[in-house]
Amino acid sequence: MKPKVLMMAVLIAAFAAIDRPSFAHHGGTAFDITTPVVLKNAVITEFLWINPHPLIKADYKDDKGNVQQWTMELGGLVGAQLIGWTRTSLQPGDVVTLYVWKAKTGALVGRFNKVDFPDGTTMRDSQTGADDGGRSDSGQRN
């Protein structure tokens, strides 16, 4: 076996050994996990701390000045708790930048990726919070 092939095989095996919760549950395949939609200066209107998924609602003004009303889901509530989210992590009136994997249907709904706060901190989704849509264990602001 060529060394590069061997090294790749070992690395792939190592990645496979990492516990990665399934994103297939609750409509994961309905979202376009390629490039997140970026909603700059979005205004949080509601943060619903509910099962099976917390919901973020936000108003976003597009380039033409039209206000879009977005709703997006986080990963499971417990998974969010385990990486530092609480029911007050987002509050109505917060002005933030939201990254969201948009629904393939084109509706203004999606799967949350991450949020950038004005102070430069970031919180991520437990399952799709990495920049490539993979798992992130860092829900803490960092």
Partner 1 sequence: MRKTSTGIIAGAVGVVFLSVLVAAQSAPQKNAPRSPWKYYPEDARANEGPGGPAPVRDMSGTWAGESSGAGVKRLVPPDRMPAFTPLGKQLFDRNKAEGTGVLIAQSNDPHVRYCDPFGFPRNMNDQIRSMTIATVSNRTFVMLRFMNIWREIWMDGRTLPTNFAGRGADVHDPTYNGYSVGRWTDDYTFVAETTGMAAETWATEGGLPHSVDARVTERFNRSSKNDLSLTMTMDDPKLYSKPLSLGQVNFRWIPSQTFFDFSCVPSSVQQYLKEVADPASSPGAAR
Element (H, E) at 69: strand 67-73
Annotate each residue in 30-69 with x if it binds partner 1 (CB under 8 A) or - if it does not, as one string. xx----------------x-xxxx-x--------------
Give the contact letters, 82-101, x = binds to partner 1 (CB under 8 A), - = no.
Answer: x-------------------
Angstrom distance (rounded) from CA 65 to CA 46:
21
Nearest by Cα to 52 from 118, 119, 115, 126: 126
Distance between CA atoms of 134 and 142, rounded to whole angstroms? 18
Judged by DSSP in three states, 114 sits in strand
Among 38, 40, 68, 78, binds partner 1 (CB under 8 A): 78
Residues near partner 1 (CB under 8 A) are 1-7, 9-11, 13-15, 18-19, 21, 24-27, 29-31, 48, 50-53, 55, 71-73, 78-79, 82, 103-110, 137-138, 140
